[in-house]
Amino acid sequence: MASKPARQPAQAPLERGAIPWLLAAAVATAAPHASHLPLWLSLVTGGALLWRGWLWQRNGSLPARWQLALLVIAGAAGIGWQFRTLLGRDADVALLVFFMALKPMEMRTRRDSMVVVMLGFFLLLTHYLYSQSIPTGLWLLGASTLLTATLIRLHGGAQPVAAILRYAALLLAQAIPFMLIAFMLFPRVSGPLWGLPRDAYAGLTGLSDSMSPGSLDNLIQSGAIAFRVQFSGDSPEKSGLYWRGPVFNDYDGRAWRAGLTQRSATPSVEATGKTYSYVTTLEAHNQRWLLALDLPLALPKDSMLSSTFEARAREPVLNRTRYAITSAVSYVANRQESPAVLRQALRLPPRLNPRSRQLAETWKAEFGSPEEISDAALRMFRRETFFYTLRPPLLGQQAIDDFLFTSRRGFCEHYASAYVFLMRAAGVPARVVAGYQGGEVNPIDGYLTVRQSDAHAWAEIWLADKGWVRVDPTAAVAPSRIEQGVEAALPAGDPLPVLVRIDTDWLRDLRNRWEAANNSWNQWVLGYNPERQREVLSRFGLSEPDWRSMTAVLAALCGIALLIVCLWTLFQRPTATPAQLAWRRFCTRLERRGISRAAWEGPLDFARRVEREHPELGALTREAADHFADLHYGTGKPEQVQQLKECIRRLPRQSPSTWRHTI
């Protein structure tokens, strides 16, 4: 009868001691997804992994396959109901996490365990779809080490935990040179690497393409970073840091919108003072405008200056973008303006805010120039009882009248909106500009950090022979907002992000250091785009690198790194443990008596051969081999080292023939 074929290693039963490693790897790869998964799915995942751990501890039987099939159907149906689809980023990641929770329930062979490990590596990649921060990178590095250690435990048998983790870390450390070479030289792709067409840009925050009461208030309560700026040389005073965003021309009585911009002559900006050059790192905001110091003179490529002096990219900013701009804070903008643009800057909805219109008509009759009308509005804000707050009362249909004559409480968009309405009603062309004002220099890296809480709105009026002139009504009500920042202008009870209200030196220093580290990560890792790659490679002599030259250099450097790693592996001398040294001395003593151990022979196999061929030394060799096996493979006790050394001392000094003769 033909013999039964030997069981393949992949089909071998799973060793009991490897199961905790697999469960730990499943937890490490799935746990971070709990922050964006539905609560019920996180509870199901945690419950399934705890159940599997309980079965391992109790030596319980695994569920039947039909039971697992029912769980898979129920879980997939629940995920489909939760996300209304089984396609897309969130639904697919949820399915992967659910499968990771159920796969350990059918782990019976080594092949099943390999599926868990490979699924864990794949699941790690999905974390970058949600976060690419430093903590995410550190967590994934630790989880990768754990997965590698799990592979070592599966194929290497029982060993000390510290030894397995050390070996896994060593393996990953050997891959670091290849990772750095590939990162520096592999051709980069434009756009975000970790994204999906439909939902990669969900949740991006920033200025909107419209402005209504409350829109900026909500944005200002966020401490998220909007962009960072590095000046080439001196920077303007804080009161001159106006970062221009969208410009709003159309007003419907409630909200301001850009509307259809009337044709204008080519935007003309004449600098009347010092110019400033700087590099901006703009966070993704899903809009086309590039935040620029008011007003931009020189723009980056693939951008343009609109007729309302907005720096606009060709496509929406869907990933972190780095660009260089030159601006002037003292200027004359469009000294000559087209009649169509001026008519648009005078339009108001009919029959709204009659009291504000009447006040503007009074100023128009009383004062002879637009400058005097503007001064009258600012004087009203400055001298009368107006309050700067993030908690203004709700306004009715006559919003401007309610604000100017009843509530008198508002934020920057209230004051800018009311001012522009008054100017238009008085016959002065005016419009609203949204953007950011101010920023804080991080002393660690020298970057100016502008947060969403620095969002601001101001106004522009057009004056003959002076062009468009910036007017900030908020400065008349709360000058500290412009000079010191939003936190200095608001009442103590108004909500602001914790990061903005920090006034303790050590906490502020800790925040600055963390944000500087994040900025370096963003600049050199996440922001390593094709332009940045060309900039770096040009410093190493590759002035115009293409994919052919980069591939050649990549192959050469990887070959050199591989040679170095191989030489290091060949010439390193592993440090022997006390147990190994003692076992070698024991074998050396036996060899002097004509009993040699083959290189392939394990300690227990060697002891069995000695028992057969030299019974007089068999018991002592078996005792020494047992001690060494226990110590070397992780189940021994420290005192066994001394017992192994005692076996060496008990070996007789005579040759085997002499020893038998004396007996």
List pLDDT tens digits, range 262-307.
555 578 899 998 999 999 999 888 888 899 998 999 898 888 998 8
pTM of the model: 0.70
Q: How far apart are CA 299 and CA 326, in angstroms?
A: 7
What angle (nearest 5°) sits at the alpha carbon of residue 30, between those of residues 131 and 122? Answer: 75
Check if 472 is active-site: yes
Q: Among 40, 102, 99, which Cα is nearest to 68's? A: 102
Query: Is residue 525 one of the residues assigned to a domain?
Result: no
Residue 280, pLDDT score: 92
Q: How far apart are CA 40 and CA 170, in angstroms?
A: 39
- Averaged confidence pLDDT in the chain: 84
Q: Are residues 228 and 136 in the same domain?
A: no
Q: Are residues 223 and 141 in the same domain?
A: no
pLDDT in tens, 381-416: 999 999 888 788 888 888 999 999 999 988 888 999
Check if 456 is active-site: yes
Confidence class for position 244, pLDDT limits 50, 70, 90: very high
Q: Tell me which of 119, 140, 158 is where a domain ends.
A: 158
Q: Among 211, 177, 242, 136, which Cα is nearest to 518's? A: 136
Query: Is residue 4 one of the residues assigned to a domain?
Result: no
Query: Is residue 612 one of the residues assigned to a domain?
Result: yes
Q: How far apart are CA 320 and CA 618, in angstroms?
A: 72
Structural domain harbouring 92: 9-158
Confidence class for position 634, pLDDT limits 50, 70, 90: low
Query: Is residue 465 one of the residues assigned to a domain?
Result: yes
Q: Are residues 248 and 114 in the same domain?
A: no
Q: How far apart are CA 647 and CA 649, in angstroms?
A: 5
Q: Let me know: does 228 contact 186? Beta carbons within 8 Å.
A: no
Q: Tell me which of 501, 519, 552 is where a domain ends.
A: 501
Q: Are residues 439 and 584 in the same domain?
A: no
Q: Are residues 147 and 251 in the same domain?
A: no
Q: Are residues 218 and 365 in the same domain?
A: yes
Classify residue 363 by burial, with Cβ atoms within 10 Å: 0-12, 13-18, 19+.
buried
Q: Are residues 218 and 138 in the same domain?
A: no
Number of domains in the chain: 3
**Which residues does residue 322 pair with via DSSP β-bridges, in sequence order?**
281
Residue 227, pLDDT score: 92
Q: Tell me which of 501, 527, 553 is where a domain ends.
A: 501
Query: Is residue 528 one of the residues assigned to a domain?
Result: no
Q: Are residues 243 and 362 in the same domain?
A: yes
Q: Are residues 144 and 217 in the same domain?
A: no
Q: Are residues 253 and 357 in the same domain?
A: yes
Query: Is residue 556 one of the residues assigned to a domain?
Result: no
Lowest mean pLDDT among 140-144, 391-395, 548-552, 585-589: 548-552
**Exactly one of 401, 472, 587, 626 is catalytic; which is it?**
472
Q: Are residues 153 and 225 in the same domain?
A: no
Query: Is residue 514 one of the residues assigned to a domain?
Result: no
**Exactly one of 33, 127, 414, 456 is catalytic; which is it?**
456
Rounded to an integer, the average pLDDT of 508-523 is 84
Q: Are residues 469 and 611 in the same domain?
A: no
**Exactly one of 33, 217, 402, 412 is catalytic; which is it?**
412
Higher pLDDT, 541 or 350: 350
Query: Is residue 468 one of the residues assigned to a domain?
Result: yes
